[in-house]
Structure 1
Amino acid sequence: MELHESTLDVLARFERYMAHSRGMADLSVHAYMSDVSSALDFCLGARPFDSAELTPRAFRAWVATKVREGGSRASVARYVASVRLFGRWMKREGIAQVDPTLKLRAARVDETLPQTLTVDQARSLFNYLRQQTEGGDPCAIRDWAMVEVMYSCGIRVAELTGLNLSHLNAAERTLRVLGKGDKERVVPYGKPAHDALRVWIETGRPALVTDSGEQALFLGARGGRISQRIVRGRLESACASAGVPVISPHGLRHSAATHMLEGGADLRAVQDLLGHSSLQTTQRYTHVNARRLSAIMNQAHPRA
């Protein structure tokens, strides 16, 4: 990408506007700058900046190119949002007489969110799971700990079953999680999950493990690493027995995200916690005011 110096000057002004006048986060500024730079490269190339060349047709052609390159609907929606902000800014600054992106639209992003629980329903589920451990059944203790961890951390079922003992830092109440694309992140968990994990590791896991070298945090009835299928089945069974809507692990993850955002958690922080690569994915829930990730568990999570 070789943009003319005059175009780079306009981009620099736009970047300052986003960072200072709008107070956008650094990652958001970077994403918008990348999108707008791509659009200007498509429309202008190395020619001097000329707003007259930035026509609605030119921007539509750029978006169409992104679609042909395999961009997802969510990605294309972000591209459109980026250049529309740029178009409004150009008109406001007098760089362009009209906003060339005014009628630019992205295809609607179809999202079907899974069944979720209310906070009260989640509380009923955890009360039921806790009660089932009173007889000392190691599988019941495991189920309690697994569901507490999935909800507290908002992790995927594949991330849960992939956890090893070495991924747990009980002193700091964090887990090292390997997510999609082998991306590693460290997530905090609340006191209820901490209590359940302590009981599982001290009494439940030793009763199930058959190989002293087994590294998996959560085990199946035969002592090996538990499967995703078993986790799903145990969660669904627990929901039915607790008298709450039967949800999948994915639904539990969505429940956690929804409850945290309803509690006032920062959208960007929830993105980091869930391991979403795109903020667009997290934005399916709601828009919230900014707070720090380190305060999420105590300030926003209903089971912190």
Structure 2
Amino acid sequence: RVLGKGNKQRLLPLPQPIIDVLQNYLRLERPHTHSLSLFVCLKGRHRGQPMTAAGLRSLFRHHRVTSQVPQANPHRFRHTFGADMVRAGISLPALQHLMGHSQIRTTMLYVQLAPKDVWDEYARAIENRTRLESSPIL
């Protein structure tokens, strides 16, 4: 379960390799934390409590500096996820659900395809059309 913006809950599918990594993380990094939240504060007076949006921003800021990848941020990850899923062939309604959007228009904002993506999609459609035209009509 994911708690999104506006306290909306949704279920997200996780591939088994991701589940394995998360279980390993919980076993090694949080052996005594019994929080239902995956991301919790690991230090300070809020230790064990769910991480806030501000805490997550702070964590990203720290890792941007230490990794020297200044463009890394949660929003960039969402955009990358959206574009990658479209390239992989996911339907927009499915992507809308995964991203927790109530309006498909919002999902469309995340789907920014490169010119190569448009060309590849066009070429695939032309190929399908040609194949359909050469099929015998019953």
Do both share a fold (TM > 0.5)? yes
Q: Which residue matches 2:134?
A: none
- Asked if residue 263 in structure 1 is aligned to residue 88 in structure 2, the reply is yes
CA distance in 2, matches of 1:190, 1:235: 24
Decide whether aligned partners of structure 1 residues 215 and 198 sit closer, same or farther in structure 2, where only a CA change above 3 A counts.
closer
- When the two chains are superposed, the root-mean-square deviation of aligned CA atoms in Å is 2.7
SS for the counterpart of 2:12 is strand
Q: Which residue matches 2:48?
A: 224
Counterpart amino acid of 1:216? Answer: S
Counterpart amino acid of 1:235? Answer: F
SS for the counterpart of 2:30 is helix
How far residue 278 of structure 1 moved from its aligned partner, in angstroms, is 0.5
SS for the counterpart of 1:283 is helix
- Asked if residue 251 in structure 1 is aligned to residue 76 in structure 2, the reply is yes
Q: Which residue matches 2:129?
A: none
CA distance in 2, matches of 1:180, 1:230: 15
Q: Which residue matches 1:238?
A: 63
Decide whether aligned partners of structure 1 residues 186 and 217 sit closer, same or farther in structure 2, where only a CA change above 3 A counts.
same
Answer whether contact 1:216 1:224 (CA < 8 A) is retained: no
Decide whether aligned partners of structure 1 residues 264 and 231 sit closer, same or farther in structure 2, where only a CA change above 3 A counts.
same
Q: Which residue matches 2:136?
A: none
CA distance in 2, matches of 1:237, 1:197: 21
Decide whether aligned partners of structure 1 residues 246 and 192 sit closer, same or farther in structure 2, where only a CA change above 3 A counts.
farther
Q: Which residue matches 1:98?
A: none
How far residue 273 of structure 1 moved from its aligned partner, in angstroms, is 0.4
Decide whether aligned partners of structure 1 residues 239 and 193 sit closer, same or farther in structure 2, where only a CA change above 3 A counts.
farther
Answer whether contact 1:205 1:218 (CA < 8 A) is retained: no
Greater radius of gyration (CA): 1
Q: 2:30 aligns with which of 195, 200, 205?
A: 205
Task: State, as a whole percentage, how many aligned pairs show the same letter.
Answer: 33
CA distance in 1, matches of 2:55, 2:81: 21
Unaligned runs of 5+ in 1: 1-175, 290-304
Higher relative contact order (CA 8 A, sep 6+): 1
Counterpart amino acid of 2:103? Answer: S
Matched residue count: 110
SS for the counterpart of 2:54 is helix
How far residue 181 of structure 1 moved from its aligned partner, in angstroms, is 4.1
CA deviations over 1:103-153 (Å, ceiling 9, x no partner)? xxxxxxxxxxxxxxxxxxxxxxxxxxxxxxxxxxxxxxxxxxxxxxxxxxx
How far residue 253 of structure 1 moved from its aligned partner, in angstroms, is 1.7
SS for the counterpart of 2:98 is helix
CA distance in 2, matches of 1:265, 1:282: 12
CA deviations over 1:147-194 (Å, ceiling 9, x no partner)? xxxxxxxxxxxxxxxxxxxxxxxxxxxxx1233444332111234532
CA distance in 2, matches of 1:261, 1:240: 30
CA distance in 2, matches of 1:192, 1:205: 19
How far residue 274 of structure 1 moved from its aligned partner, in angstroms, is 0.5
CA deviations over 1:194-235 (Å, ceiling 9, x no partner)? 23211122111116x3xx5x4433221232222222222222
Q: Which residue matches 2:12?
A: 187
- Please list, as runs of the form range in 1=range in 2, the aligned pairs for 1:90-129 lying within 5 A after superposition: none
Q: 1:280 aligns with which of 81, 91, 105?
A: 105
